[in-house]
Amino acid sequence: GRDTAGLGGKGGPYRLDAGHNVHQLSDEEKDSAPDEVKKAAREMGKRAFQKRLKEIEMSEYDAERYATFVRGVSQQIASLKQIAAGLEANQGDRVWLKNQTDGELMIRRLLKV
């Protein structure tokens, strides 16, 4: 870490993907890091990227091509993710209840908006 010994750096040891509150550093703070720290961070990132490519048996060329294709369909991917999330949220709405002769009718179930 940097400037917070043992705590994982100025932003803290937290990860956004793990549900922690992550504090964004300003560009000025990022630029104030010494050049050797920036270089070490780039090298660590490059090694991690190479390791991941090896794990999934993908070359750098393949990764570049994949990124190109993903950029081309990123809006459609986002739309499909939103649709899937909506379907998961409504998954229990269309359940047939056996031996039930009456009950409340929910407008949300009739009109899919």
| Whole-number pLDDT of residue 4 | 44
Q: Is the pTM of this model over 0.75?
A: no
- Residue 26 gets which letter from DSSP? P
Residues of the chain with pLDDT under 70: 1-18, 22-23, 92-113
Residue the block writes with tokens 């908006």: 113
Give pLDDT, residue 75.
Answer: 95
pLDDT of 102 reads 63
Compute the distance between CA of residue 22 and CA of residue 13 in angstroms, rounded to an integer.
9
**pLDDT for 28:** 87
